[in-house]
Amino acid sequence: MVPAVLAATQSASSISSAAGQTVAIPIAFEMLAVIVASAGGVLSARESKLDLIGAIGLAVIVSLGGGLIRDVILQVGDVYILQQPLALPVSIATAAAVFMFPMVVEKPDRLVAALDIFSVGLFAVMGADKTMVYGYPPVTCVMMGFFTAVGGGMLRDICLARVPYIFQRSNLYAIAAIAGAIAYMTLIESLGMWNIAAATISVALTMLIRWWSIRYNIMSPTEFDPHKLPEPVKKVARPVVRPIQRAGHHVSAKTSQAAARARDRKRHRRQQNR
């Protein structure tokens, strides 16, 4: 019995010490991300004609669902929605306020869109950092950052019985979140950058990619056709694609020549057999 108690105590202490090493995102930014995500959940609830309870439920799912998915997968005993005492009350209060006064967020569309992608970038950084603290490899950290950023929206769409937005053609919403998580891990692991600076750069990169895709109407493809790519993408991709195309043509030509020689040999054998 005593060894079991000691093991549990050591496990709890290691978890709490690891949790203390997570990126020190200012609490104001953290709550801003929760508020923005909650407001988005309420607007989705109003579009679907849900009542106040439905709006609050969607707000909590959108703002905290991604972190909950991450924590359930990691199974480290440190659940954000339980550890941060402000997260759930702030989400519920935001949901109630926006449900009663939706004009607060319906009018400034550009501001809400900017804050939305800010929250996505911040959640991606927080998810990647928390996973890194517990010793997981960079690929897992990026995946958990992605789940933290877009998992809430995915759960929202599942609750509303529609195809999740991240799986639909859009202006690089999910790709921006992945890029932010990758940038954070690269800056921390490869360059040893201070985590606050790395988080700032990564969130800025997420917002820049999203803005760039909206500015030039760059959409994630439902099918790949290089001739239909927007001109800004073609300019960036051309120096990389052309050498690959030349190599592909070279390999294709060699393959065709080998196939032609094989056909000639078969024809020659048939003639000899006759």
Q: What is the pLDDT of residue 10?
A: 42
Neighbours of 222 (CB within 10 A): 8
Q: One-letter amino acid identity for 87?
A: A
pLDDT exceeds 60 at position 49: yes
Comparing CA positions, the residue from 201, 212, 210, 76 lying closest to residue 144 is: 76
Q: What is the pLDDT of residue 158?
A: 92
Least confident of 121-125, 201-205, 225-229, 244-248: 225-229
Per-residue DSSP letters for 138-207? HHHHHHHHHHHHHHHHHHHHHHTTS--GGGS--SSHHHHHHHHHHHHHHHHHTT---HHHHHHHHHHHHH
pLDDT exceeds 60 at position 22: no
pLDDT exceeds 50 at position 121: yes
Which position has the higher pLDDT, 31 or 231?
31
Q: What is the pLDDT of residue 244?
A: 72
Position 267 confidence tier, pLDDT thresholds 50, 70, 90: confident
pLDDT exceeds 80 at position 41: yes
Position 8 confidence tier, pLDDT thresholds 50, 70, 90: very low
Q: What is the pLDDT of residue 69?
A: 92
Average confidence (pLDDT) over 114-143: 87
Q: What is the pLDDT of residue 262?
A: 79
Q: What is the pLDDT of residue 141?
A: 92
Q: What is the pLDDT of residues 227-266, one digit of tens each?
A: 666 666 666 666 766 777 777 777 777 777 777 787 778 7
pLDDT exceeds 60 at position 7: no
Count CA atoms closer than 13 A to 86's CA, side-chain side: 9
Q: What is the pLDDT of residues 164-200, one digit of tens each?
A: 888 887 778 888 899 999 999 999 888 888 888 888 8
Q: What is the pLDDT of residue 259?
A: 78
Q: What is the pLDDT of residues 81-97, one digit of tens each?
A: 888 899 999 999 999 99
Q: What is the pLDDT of residue 182?
A: 93
Give me Rg for the CA atoms of the chain: 25
pLDDT exceeds 50 at position 2: no
* Distances 205 to 61, 180, 196, 209 between C-alpha atoms, Å: 25, 6, 14, 6
Position 55 confidence tier, pLDDT thresholds 50, 70, 90: very high
Under 8 Å CB-to-CB from 177, ≥6 apart: which residues?
120, 121, 123, 124, 145, 146, 149, 150, 206
Q: What percent of the chain has pLDDT over 70?
A: 80
